[in-house]
């Protein structure tokens, strides 16, 4: 007979506390979504201490609900509570994360991703049991919107000021005027940022999800950049030939069922002297080195979204969102590229320069 396992009380308490913290985070996500959609954070931004009644009236909401929401937010440290006056305040740092949509650390829309993951749980259970895939477009619509919003922050902060300059000679080419492909462009936030910065170049966004491209077209029109950007429904391994002097993959290569075919198509459509910009989720090469909160987020999304999509496309190589540099380099080596260099990194992304 097996001995009853001995429980380490300290380890039990530490882990249970940690698990309850994660549960609390799930509740907080709902509160953040409500605060964002109802304009409660914006009503509090730059306003100093306010009573619940003042905040409810500024956001045109019912006071009793707002006061309970405020207490939940204060308990979680999302807003400050001033006990003497019984008022609530959104501090400037909290406003950057919760109220300012242009801030690089703005978070509320990103909660749409776990919302879609919960909503799609029945599909995921079925996929685990059958081994079948789930295509990107089969998910609840909050996935594409939340994912685009999550990455947009990082792109705004880094793409033009840091990542493109980290590629040898690419900024000079963009300034002179080149053709650029943005493969799997989704809502096109990356395309738009590049088109804004480099008026002499032309940008071509490709994606298999028509609804995302509709959003991308609207974003380009709203920015007055439709003359520099076109969007076409195309697969990563059969978009029009170009040639393109810059081919970008922003958070898409690991989603593909056949990433080597996409890399081969890039090799075929790349202009002489051209560059592939590969942006992927930050990851080390081995699971033992990927045991961090960022990896926890990515592995979770990868289970339900990235792996499921790659499997839906036939899944000849299912990289997952924590592929790591060695496996990514191997994809491009198989496609005939000889140069693969890590050009930059952030806590959330790895940025590679790839050349033939």
- Rule CB under 6 A: is residue 251 a binding residue for ligand SAM? yes
How far apart CA 9 and CA 15 sit, in angstroms, is 10
259 sits near ligand SAM (criterion: CB under 6 A): no
DSSP H or E stretch at residue 168: none
Nearer to ligand SAM, 258 or 353 (CB): 258
State how far the Cα of 190 lies from the Cα of 347, in Å rounded to an integer.
Answer: 18
Strands (E) across the chain are located at 80-82, 87-89, 179-183, 202-207, 229-233, 244-250, 270-281, 339-345, 349-355
Residue 212 in contact with ligand SAM, rule: CB under 6 A? yes
DSSP class of 338: -
Determine if 278 is a binding residue for ligand SAM (CB under 6 A).
no
- Kind of pairing between the strands at 244-250 and 179-183: parallel
Residue number with CB closer to ligand SAM (66 or 263): 263
Piece of the chain touching ligand SAM by CB under 6 A; list 156-164, 165-173, 203-211, 338-346:
203-211
Contact predicate 63/43, CB 8 Å: no
What gap in Å lies between CA 81 and CA 71, rounded to an integer?
8
Say if residue 267 is preceded by a cis peptide, omega within 30 of 0.
no
Applying CB under 6 A, which part among 40-48, 85-93, 252-260, 347-355 lies near ligand SAM? 252-260
- Residue keyed to tokens 């300059």: 165
Segment 297 to 326, residues that bind ligand SAM, using CB under 6 A: 309, 313
Among 89, 120, 207, 280, the residue binding ligand SAM under the rule CB under 6 A is 207
Give the nearest distance from C-beta 143 to ligand SAM in angstroms: 9
Site residue total, ligand SAM (CB under 6 A): 23
Helix (H) or strand (E) holding 33: helix 9-37
Q: Does 184 bind ligand SAM (CB under 6 A)?
A: yes
Tell me if 147 contacts ligand SAM by CB under 6 A. yes
**Binding of ligand SAM by 205 (CB under 6 A):** no
Residue 111 vs 206, nearer CB to ligand SAM: 206
Residue ranges in contact with ligand SAM by CB under 6 A = 136, 147-148, 151, 184-186, 189-190, 206-209, 212, 235-236, 250-252, 255-256, 309, 313
């Amino acid at each position: 007979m097996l001995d009853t396992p001995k429980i380490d009380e300290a380890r039990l308490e530490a882990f249970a506390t940690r698990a309850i913290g994660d549960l609390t985070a799930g509740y907080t996500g709902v509160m953040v979504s409500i605060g964002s959609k109802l304009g409660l954070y914006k009503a509090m931004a730059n306003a100093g201490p306010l009573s619940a009644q003042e905040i409810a009236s500024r956001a045109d909401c019912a006071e009793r609900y707002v006061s309970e929401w405020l207490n939940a937010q204060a308990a979680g440290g999302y807003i400050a509570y001033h006990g003497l006056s019984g008022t609530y305040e959104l501090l400037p740092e909290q406003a950057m994360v919760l109220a300012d949509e242009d801030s690089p650390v703005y978070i509320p829309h990103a909660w749409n991703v776990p919302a879609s993951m919960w909503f799609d749980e029945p599909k995921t259970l079925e996929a685990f049991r059958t081994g079948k895939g789930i295509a990107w477009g089969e998910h609840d619509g909050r996935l594409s919107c939340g994912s685009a919003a999550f990455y947009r922050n990082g792109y705004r902060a880094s793409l033009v000021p840091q990542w493109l300059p980290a590629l040898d000679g690419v900024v000079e080419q963009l300034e002179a005027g080149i053709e650029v492909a943005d493969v799997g462009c989704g809502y096109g936030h990356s395309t738009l940022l590049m088109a804004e910065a480099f008026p002499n170049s032309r940008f071509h966004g490709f994606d298999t999800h028509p609804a995302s491209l509709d959003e991308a077209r609207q974003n380009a029109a709203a920015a007055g950049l439709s003359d520099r950007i076109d969007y076409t429904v195309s697969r990563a391994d059969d978009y029009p030939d170009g040639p393109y002097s810059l081919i970008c993959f922003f958070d898409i290569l690991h989603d593909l069922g056949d990433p080597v075919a996409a890399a081969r198509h890039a090799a075929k459509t790349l202009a002489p002297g051209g560059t592939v910009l590969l942006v992927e989720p930050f990851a080390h090469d081995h699971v033992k080195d990927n045991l961090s909160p960022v990896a926890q987020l990515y592995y979770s999304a990868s289970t339900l979204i990235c792996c499921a999509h790659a499997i839906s496309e036939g899944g000849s190589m299912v990289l997952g969102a924590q592929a790591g540099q060695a496996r990514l380099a191997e994809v491009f080596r198989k496609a005939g590229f000889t140069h693969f260099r890590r050009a930059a990194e952030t806590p959330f992304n790895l940025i590679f320069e790839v050349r033939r």
